[in-house]
Structure 1
Amino acid sequence: MRAVQITRFGGPEVLDVVDLPDPTPADGQRLYRVRAAGVNYADTHQTEDSYLAPQQLPLIPGAEFVGTAEGSDERVVGLLLGGGGYADTVVTDPRTTWALPDGVTDEQALSLVLQGTTAWHLLRTSTHLVAGESVVVMAGAGGVGTLAVQLAKRWGAGRVIATASSAEKRALAEELGADATVDPALAEDDPKAFTAALREANGGARVDVVLEMTGGNVFDGAFSALAPFGRIAAYGMASRQAASAVAPASLMGTSRAVVGFWLAHCTARPEMLDEAMTDLLALTAAGDLRPVVGGRYPMTAVREAHQDLLARRSTGKLVLDPSR
């Protein structure tokens, strides 16, 4: 099979396209021929071994694919619990695959299986969004963010505020339903300026829900903007910078909450993935949810895809074509 393999940790330069033997399905698994593979920001952490779970070399990154099972023409989108997605052939348990409606493209499906389910659970499971509440979506033009903005509006958020690093990205977030946008660069030197900008975007009031994946000053500024009973859900650390420690007294004295989210924990409860995917696929097929596709790269351009992610040049979902 043709695949992207890492034999050393580092940046995009460690991603090599190689020929390897086809994987062998274990008990309960099937072999799938891949039509398209998804690229996620988390993959850049995997490449440099800075993610939540330690990585073992050699490895094939990637956790999602669209393809067909050997001997079948049915198109499915699948989640790979052990990685291996950057390849033209994968093996996985059919329990973590979902049949695709005709109205959902490969690229749209790939935007749902990790990023869509993350957005779904951040709002439903982690922060328990209540209609009328204000929601801040960090990286509102990204893979999770573009879907979270739409879902928050659909589920009755009173005001959705998105952050994005360029005028074009902020315009996209507003097109998808954000009521206001903020430049996260305000937090680089002064978290207080970022706090003030979020409150201004919310009509001067503190915010109820924050979906946060940057860390560092962005987290600190957003946490300070929370209203009493506000919740901030941390699901990434794109800045590679830790936020200030949150003291219990600061939570008690303001009735604020901090919750972490990692989709990997949903894999132990497959019904959590099924519920989200069933909802997301139906919304997409009906045209009620618009997954944003940021670009389709040949597998030979995988380094460029990672460079674009790290430089924040991309929007929406990035996809690899293993046939090229």
Structure 2
Amino acid sequence: MAALGEGVTEFAVGDRVAAALFAGNVYLGGYAEYVVIGADYAAPVPEGVSFEVATALMVQGLTALYLVKQAPPAGKRVLVSAAAGGVGSLLVQLAKRAGAASVIAAASTAEKRAFAQSLGADAGVDYTQADWGEGLLPDVIYESVGGQVTMESLRALAPLGQVVIYGALNIQQFQLGVSELLGLIFKNQSVTGFALTPLLTPAALRSALAALFDLAVRGEILVAIGGVFALKQAADAHRALESRNSRGKIILTP
């Protein structure tokens, strides 16, 4: 922390803090060396948590944590799409910690599926293949890919199951037809939407980040960093994301 505003007493200049811009309704400014944020939306970063790990646990970690809270996996067969990504890799671990009976990692390459299995996934499936969901019957599907992956997720879902849709997926290609609606109705299934920001009060934000930081410090979750780029290399960071070859979170540093 470089400076304090008037009346801020809970922090000191030099403190290590994570600033959740999105939670404070600040949607621009992440690509900057300095940013102004309301003190309510700053959270202490403990020793033992690097700034890179803290960054990866902000949007991705909070999303994974709240997904597990919103759609509890305890005792259930779970499928995680994009399981090697920033959110997916954490979802695999948090779902297992929350008592999932099994976790299936859906990813596009054998390397990514193996990585997700190294984090605790019990099996992997290639969602680029036709009919990849046949016979899986997961009870909960955390889905962020969109398009045909979402449609196949509905076909794969167990009776009484739930598909939770989150992230910047291609919703323009998602259209429920009569057969999908009949399946949802007569199998008592549900499709649930998820957005992180409306759930985050200042107190909830700090509590959730403290829990995630604690898990990281104690080595109970692995925070995968897919690449670290200096701010002047932002274009390279975008190319790394667009390549779809990265695993975990891509980080920009000053």
Shift in CA distance, 257/87, structure 1 to aligned 2, threshold 3 Å: same
1:108 aligns with 2:53: yes
TM-score (norm 2): 0.89
Partner of 1:160: 103
Unaligned runs of 5+ in 2: none
Partner of 2:157: 226
Q: What SS class does the counterpart of residue 88 from structure 1 fall into? A: coil
Counterparts of 1:253-264 in structure 2, within 5 Å, are: 253-264=186-197
Query: Is the Cα–Cα contact under 8 Å of residues 93 and 119 in structure 2 kept in the other structure?
Result: yes
Q: For residues 160-218 of structure 1, give each alpha carbon's deviation from its aligned partner in whole angstroms, at most 9, with x where no partner exists.
A: 001112222111101000111111111xxx4xx1221xx3xx4xxx1101010111110
Shift in CA distance, 220/74, structure 1 to aligned 2, threshold 3 Å: same
Partner of 1:133: 76
Query: Is the Cα–Cα contact under 8 Å of residues 105 and 124 in structure 2 kept in the other structure?
Result: yes
Unaligned runs of 5+ in 1: 1-24, 31-68
Counting strand residues as a fraction of each chain, which structure ranks higher? 1
- Measured in 1, the distance between the counterparts of 2:84 and 2:67 equals 17
Partner of 1:284: 216
1:87 aligns with 2:87: no
Q: Which stretches of structure 1, 4 residues or more, deviate above 3 A after TM superposition?
A: 25-30, 237-241, 246-250
Shift of 1:288: 0.6
Shift of 1:311: 2.0
Query: Is the Cα–Cα contact under 8 Å of residues 107 and 317 in structure 1 kept in the other structure?
Result: no
Query: Is the Cα–Cα contact under 8 Å of residues 164 and 183 in structure 1 kept in the other structure?
Result: yes
Query: Is the Cα–Cα contact under 8 Å of residues 29 and 92 in structure 1 kept in the other structure?
Result: no
1:195 aligns with 2:136: no
Counterparts of 1:243-322 in structure 2, within 5 Å, are: 243-245=174-176, 248-267=181-200, 269-322=201-254
Query: Is the Cα–Cα contact under 8 Å of residues 72 and 98 in structure 2 kept in the other structure?
Result: no
TM-score (norm 1): 0.70
Query: Is the Cα–Cα contact under 8 Å of residues 46 and 213 in structure 2 kept in the other structure?
Result: yes
Q: What SS class does the counterpart of residue 271 from structure 1 fall into? A: helix
Task: Give the aligned length.
Answer: 245
Q: For residues 5-57 of structure 1, give each alpha carbon's deviation from its aligned partner in whole angstroms, at most 9, with x where no partner exists.
A: xxxxxxxxxxxxxxxxxxxx998899xxxxxxxxxxxxxxxxxxxxxxxxxxx
Shift of 1:299: 1.1
Partner of 1:61: none
Shift of 1:151: 0.4
Shift in CA distance, 27/223, structure 1 to aligned 2, threshold 3 Å: farther
Q: For residues 210-241 of structure 1, give each alpha carbon's deviation from its aligned partner in whole angstroms, at most 9, with x where no partner exists.
A: 01011111000011111122111100244565
1:178 aligns with 2:116: no
Shift of 1:245: 1.8
Q: What SS class does the counterpart of residue 227 from structure 1 fall into? A: coil
Q: What SS class does the counterpart of residue 139 from structure 2 fall into? A: strand
Tell me the amino acid that sits aligned with residue 79 of structure 1: A
Match of 1:147 among 63, 70, 90: 90
Partner of 2:16: 75
Tell me the amino acid that sits aligned with residue 275 of structure 1: S
Query: Is the Cα–Cα contact under 8 Å of residues 103 and 121 in structure 2 kept in the other structure?
Result: yes
Query: Is the Cα–Cα contact under 8 Å of residues 139 and 163 in structure 1 kept in the other structure?
Result: yes
Partner of 1:97: 42
Shift in CA distance, 252/28, structure 1 to aligned 2, threshold 3 Å: farther
Match of 1:216 among 147, 168, 190: 147
Shift in CA distance, 255/246, structure 1 to aligned 2, threshold 3 Å: farther
